[in-house]
């Protein structure tokens, strides 16, 4: 299969494809930005028509699954609707949670303010559930594993914000959008800080893995998406300096 800057292929057969997408690209059409780059159209040349079965935010990288037939589409959509799909995200947040695990079931209202953010709303919000695990603190940051049981827009980001934490370089939910630079946490940094290039300058949220049932063979499948280059660079540096590795 030919390489593409927008994605790498994790799995493909006649029923479905699993892609590792870059950040900054939509997985399907968007009413707010109909002309924005889309992953489904980018992959059409290789796979033909693709049917979206779940959501992944534009700013989030990681695993995306598409159906390739109408039958597979119906089956996979039903799995997501009945919460039979397991999803795991990794993110880097500012600060240090005191909890090891956190269960959040705050109701969320997508498009709840003028910036189209998802907000906590106990009356009008929809049931939203996320389980968080603290994977370890490294310098000013902490690696977090998030497992959403529901699929609301910006769910992980909104649930973290409601509990006092924001994802690194989040343009919507964080007051701190400062890029991550090696000089920020490496002692005795010898480079020129004025010329230093950031290790990471976009939302540090990655859809790491997904487990579902194949719509035809009924086999349980898990697709794991390696970190993109920028998050991998941060992971390696933090692991080297602080001996904390979210993939360990």
Strand pairing class (119-120; 205-213): unpaired
Report, as an integer, the average pLDDT of 97-121.
94
Lowest-confidence region among 42-56, 129-143, 188-202, 221-235: 188-202
Paired tokens of 155: 């769910």
pLDDT score, position 32: 66
3-state secondary structure of 141: strand
Look-up of token digits 């033909």 = 48
Cα–Cα dist 76/58, whole Å = 21
Q: Is the pLDDT of residue 74 over 70?
A: yes
Lowest-confidence region among 60-74, 193-207, 233-247: 193-207
pLDDT score, position 230: 96
pLDDT score, position 114: 86
Residues 47, 6 contacting (CB under 8 angstroms): no
Ramachandran bin of 117, using left for φ above 0, alpha for ψ from -120 to 50, beta for the remaining angles: beta
**Which residues are part of the catalytic machinery?**
57
Residues 21, 55 contacting (CB under 8 angstroms): no
Task: Give the residue ranges of DSSP H helices in 30-178.
Answer: 39-42, 44-47, 70-81, 155-162
Q: What is the dihedral of CA 196, 200, 202, 203, to 10 degrees?
A: -150
pLDDT score, position 2: 45
pLDDT in tens, 145-199: 999 999 999 999 999 999 999 999 998 998 777 899 998 888 877 777 678 899 9
Report, as an integer, the average pLDDT of 12-31.
92
Count of CB atoms within 10 A of residue 81's CB? 11
Residues 57, 30 contacting (CB under 8 angstroms): no
Cα–Cα dist 189/56, whole Å = 36
């Amino acid at each position: 299969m030919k390489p593409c800057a927008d994605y790498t292929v994790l799995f493909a057969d006649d029923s479905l494809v699993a892609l590792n997408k870059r950040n900054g690209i939509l997985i399907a059409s968007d009413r707010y930005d109909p002309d924005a780059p889309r992953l489904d159209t980018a992959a059409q040349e290789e796979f033909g028509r693709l049917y979206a079965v779940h959501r992944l935010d534009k700013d989030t990288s990681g695993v995306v699954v598409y159906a390739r037939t109408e039958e597979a589409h119906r089956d996979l959509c039903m799995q997501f609707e009945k919460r039979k799909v397991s999803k795991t995200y990794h993110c880097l947040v500012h600060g240090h949670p005191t909890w090891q695990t956190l269960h959040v079931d705050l109701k969320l209202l997508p498009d709840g303010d003028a910036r189209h953010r998802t907000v906590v709303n106990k009356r009008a919000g929809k049931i939203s559930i996320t389980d968080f695990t603290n994977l370890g603190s490294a310098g000013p940051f902490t690696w977090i594993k998030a497992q959403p049981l529901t699929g609301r827009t910006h769910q992980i980001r909104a649930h973290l914000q409601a509990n006092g934490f924001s994802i690194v370089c989040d343009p919507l939910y964080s007051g701190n959008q400062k890029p991550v630079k090696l000089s920020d946490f490496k002692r005795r940094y010898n480079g020129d800080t004025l010329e230093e290039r950031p290790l990471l300058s976009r939302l540090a949220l990655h859809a790491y893995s997904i487990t579902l049932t194949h719509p035809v063979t009924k086999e349980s499948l898990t697709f794991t998406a390696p970190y993109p280059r920028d998050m991998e660079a941060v992971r390696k540096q933090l692991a080297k300096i602080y001996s904390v590795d979210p993939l360990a």
